[in-house]
Structure 1
């Protein structure tokens, strides 16, 4: 009888409080211990679960870029840009030469009353590093390859835009030709956007005839642009040996 008195007192006390408090404060000691036992493993497993979902990507094949002004040989520059002003090229500004670089050349072959031929050649290099949150360098280059082709096709004022594949240049390449009216002359453009592993290369070659000189044909310009692009692909590979 004496042992049951405390238990009865406890039951009466719990009956006098709201239901929510009974659940929280009047459960047995055994239940409380059981809850602690079941919750412990999930808390301990959290760090491991975070490690399991961390993505991993393949390292980028190319870790360097060549000097953009040396990516096309001097002989090719002389062939494509007669009377070139600066044979060594004019480099573009870059705060990260390991990831991007550019260079351009231009020249006017002035033949007086027989007319003049103007040519402009430029190259842009973009290298993509592997990133767990963005993908491998090659995947990122593939994604941006399509975007670069779109940018060239969307050149403001471009007319008669045509695209085709450029076989034998890098892993994949697209040739884009178009016309553009500027400085009172009809310019013809030939551009090649190339992906070689995790690097994108864009070569743009254009020209015009002045004072009655013949305008260059898109096919002739494209043939030269392909040649320059192949040299640039080789230069990227050589820079990473």
Structure 2
């Protein structure tokens, strides 16, 4: 074999090796393309899942609870306290009281008010008859944190029961539920001995909607005069309490005829927001 022939064969072998090397690189590159596509596809799907998950979440605050509410109180004001009783009633209970009563101090007369009267019928050497009458009015507003007005009034009404029945020095205490006066009503009576004489105390407490009316009425025979009859005093006190309740309903535009006529569940107790007897 000539030297030229050997050189040509060597060149062809070298060219074959180079072509094989190029083909290997092309195949290797082609194989890498699907892997890149698969990786890109996985990345794209992951983003879609994340976006879908984010889209399914509810906006912040969407499930927040609504603000609490409470029913508005039925009565928005109180009557003039010294005008809740008629002239005729005052003449019967406190005949020597004069033309007007003494209004109590209050920083808000639409929520808290009171009026008192006292009467001394002097019979000279035979002694004298003393009477003291007080009407207190307390109105409760509805409040989302403390409850509806009528509920708050009921709680106050019931809370005072223990206090009125536990007056220091009280004797022969008796309590009775009343019907036909407001939504709830209770009357308490007891005897109280003081240096001036023996007092007969009558307390009538009524809740009408979101207002509590407390009427205190007591009498005594002084300087040797006879002690008044407790039954007579209680009868007069009940009548006056019913009249005061009617004044509350009328002041709020509902009229006396709209006042609740009977207690659905009369309280077993009574309350008193004023002192049982006038202090001398």
| TM-score normalised by L of structure 2 | 0.69
1:213 aligns with 2:228: no
Match of 1:21 in 2: none
Match of 2:209 in 1: 197
1:81 to 75, 87, 94: 94
Deviation at residue 49 of structure 1 after TM alignment? 1.5
1:238 aligns with 2:239: no
Q: Which runs of 4+ in 1 moved over 4 A?
A: 32-36
1:105 aligns with 2:117: yes
* Superposition RMSD in Å: 2.5
1:41 aligns with 2:54: no
Cα distance in 2 between the residues matched to 1:187 and 1:42: 71
Aligned residues: 214
Asked whether the equivalents of residues 93 and 236 of structure 2 are also in contact (C-alpha less than 8 Å), the reply is yes
Match of 1:6 in 2: none
Instruction: Out of 146-155 and 33-42, give the one that drifted further.
Output: 33-42
Q: Which runs of 5+ in 1 are unaligned?
A: 4-28
Deviations 1:141-171 (A, max 9, x none): 1111101233222222222211001221111
Deviations 1:3-48 (A, max 9, x none): 8xxxxxxxxxxxxxxxxxxxxxxxxx86x94798289526232xx5
Map 1:168-179; keep pairs closer than 5 Å. Answer: 168-179=180-191
Cα distance in 1 between the residues matched to 2:205 and 2:168: 18
Cα distance in 2 between the residues matched to 1:204 and 1:174: 12
Asked whether the equivalents of residues 169 and 193 of structure 2 are also in contact (C-alpha less than 8 Å), the reply is yes
Map 1:23-102; keep pairs closer than 5 Å. Answer: 33=50, 37=54, 40-41=57-58, 43-45=60-62, 48-51=63-66, 54-84=67-97, 86-102=98-114
Q: Which runs of 5+ in 2 are unaligned?
A: 1-27, 33-45, 254-280
| TM-score normalised by L of structure 1 | 0.80
